[in-house]
Copies of this chain bind each other. A is one copy, B any other.
């Protein structure tokens, strides 16, 4: 299959509490063809959870083998269980021409960036700087130490933006989805994704 026909891997990330999950859900409702990247986990399935839809359920031994064999785009341990993104599922979807969305916190996104730099990395940002400032300063009753720590967190978050391709402000879910759809459209129109079919045609006609 031609490079031009492969799907895009969209990494939707951003600070905790910014609304990644809500935006991702709204976007998937709008774009039913967008494939949601299914995570692997070692935790027990909950009632109603379906293998391959909600998660790929793995034993700890299987998961550790996947880590060793470099079969995960990213992984983390959380309260005694492993969670990760299997590369094979993403690769298969992209190869069939489907776009894939991966919703993930910032540390995971950085891991994905190392393994899959050709992805499209979207940083979902808080609605405006005033909100960010209020979150840090609070009601003016916080200690200097608290404010200093929150500033450090905000600074670290902003530094992280450097690893992303786009910054999408989550002011309104609908507007954020409009922006992400525009980014998906534009990414597909990039010359390096389009020029292949013309070159192929030139060779065939020649």
Copies of this polypeptide in the complex: 2
Say yes or no: A198 contacts B166, CB within 8 Å.
Answer: no
Say yes or no: B166 contacts A191, CB within 8 Å.
Answer: yes
In the assembled complex, A139 has its CB within 8 A of some CB on chain B: no
Contact with B along A87-130 (1 / 0, CB 8 A): 00000000000000000000000000000000000010100010
- Chain B residue numbers with a CB within 8 Å of A63 are none
Say yes or no: A151 contacts B182, CB within 8 Å.
Answer: no
The interface on chain A, measured as residues whose beta carbon lies within 8 A of the other chain's beta carbons, has a size of: 37
In the assembled complex, A155 has its CB within 8 A of some CB on chain B: yes
Q: How far is the CB of A112 from chain B (nearest CB, A)?
A: 16
Which A residues, 145 to 184, have Cβ-Cβ distances below 8 Å to chain B? 151, 154-155, 158, 161-162, 164-168, 178-179, 181-183
Say yes or no: A191 contacts B123, CB within 8 Å.
Answer: yes
Say yes or no: B168 contacts A179, CB within 8 Å.
Answer: no
Say yes or no: A168 contacts B189, CB within 8 Å.
Answer: yes
Say yes or no: B129 contacts A201, CB within 8 Å.
Answer: yes
- Chain B residue numbers with a CB within 8 Å of A133 are 201, 205
Residue of B nearest to A178 (CB): B185
Are A162 and B202 CB-contacts (below 8 A) given A168-B189, A186-B182?
no
Are A205 and B151 CB-contacts (below 8 A) given A183-B186, A186-B183, A189-B168?
yes
10 more A-B contacts (CB under 8 A) besides A129-B201, A161-B195? A133-B201, A136-B205, A161-B194, A161-B198, A162-B195, A166-B190, A167-B189, A179-B185, A182-B183, A186-B187
